[in-house]
Amino acid sequence: MPSTLILGIESSCDETSAAVVRHSASGQAEVLSNVVASQLIHSSYGGVVPELASREHLRAIVPVVRGAMQRAGVAYSDLAAIAVTEGPGLAGALLVGISFAKALAFGADLPLIAVNHLEGHIHAVLMDANTTFADASPLLALVVSGGHTHLYLATRAPERTWRYRNVGKTLDDAAGEAFDKVAKLLGLPYPGGPWIDALAPHGTTDTHLFPLAHIKQKATGNTAPKLSREAVLAPNDDPARFDMSFSGIKTAVRRYVELHHMQPAIAARIEAFRAIGLHQAKPDTTNLARALPHFDSQTLNLIASFQNAVVKNLARSTFHAAEHYGVRGILISGGVSANSELRRSIAATAARHNLPVAFPTIALSTDNAAMIAAAAFPKLFARDFAPGTLEPTPQLRLG
Interface residue with ligand KG4 among 8, 120, 192, 378 (CB under 6 A) is 192
Per-residue buried b or exposed e for 167-182, using 16+ beta carbons within 10 Å of the residue's own CB: bbbbbbbbbbbbbbbb
CB atoms within 10 A of CB 158: 8
∠ CA(266), CA(268), CA(274), 5° rounding? Answer: 105
Residue 142 in contact with residue 330, Cβ under 8 Å? yes
Tell me if 367 contacts Zn ion by CB under 5 A.
Answer: yes
4-10/81-87 β-pairing: parallel
The one of ligand KG4, Zn ion, none whose footprint includes residue 92, by CB under 5 to 8 A per kind, is none
**Least distance from C-beta 338 to Zn ion, angstroms?**
11
**Least distance from C-beta 237 to ligand KG4, angstroms?**
29
C-alpha count within 13 angstroms, C-beta hemisphere, residue 382: 15
Tell me if 145 contacts Zn ion by CB under 5 A.
Answer: yes
Interface residue with ligand KG4 among 46, 92, 138, 335 (CB under 6 A) is 335
Residues numbered 193 to 222 that lie near ligand KG4 (CB under 6 A) are: 193-194, 197
Tell me if 87 contacts ligand KG4 by CB under 6 A.
Answer: no
SS3 state at 333: strand
Which helix (H) or strand (E) segment holds residue 69: the answer is helix 50-72
Among 173-181, 200-208, 260-268, 344-352, the segment contacting ligand KG4 (CB under 6 A): 173-181
- Which residue from 124, 156, 139 is spatially nearest to 376, judged by alpha carbons? 124
Residues numbered 124 to 153 that lie near ligand KG4 (CB under 6 A) are: 145-147
Among 56-64, 75-83, 131-139, 188-196, the segment contacting ligand KG4 (CB under 6 A): 188-196
112-116/81-87 β-pairing: parallel
Which CB, 172 or 367, lies closer to Zn ion? Answer: 367
CA 384, CA 398: separation in Å to the nearest integer?
Answer: 16
Residues numbered 17 to 46 that lie near ligand KG4 (CB under 6 A) are: none
Give the footprint of Zn ion on this chain (CB under 5 A): 145, 367
Give the footprint of ligand KG4 on this chain (CB under 6 A): 13, 145-147, 176, 179-180, 191-194, 197, 334-336, 338-339, 366-367
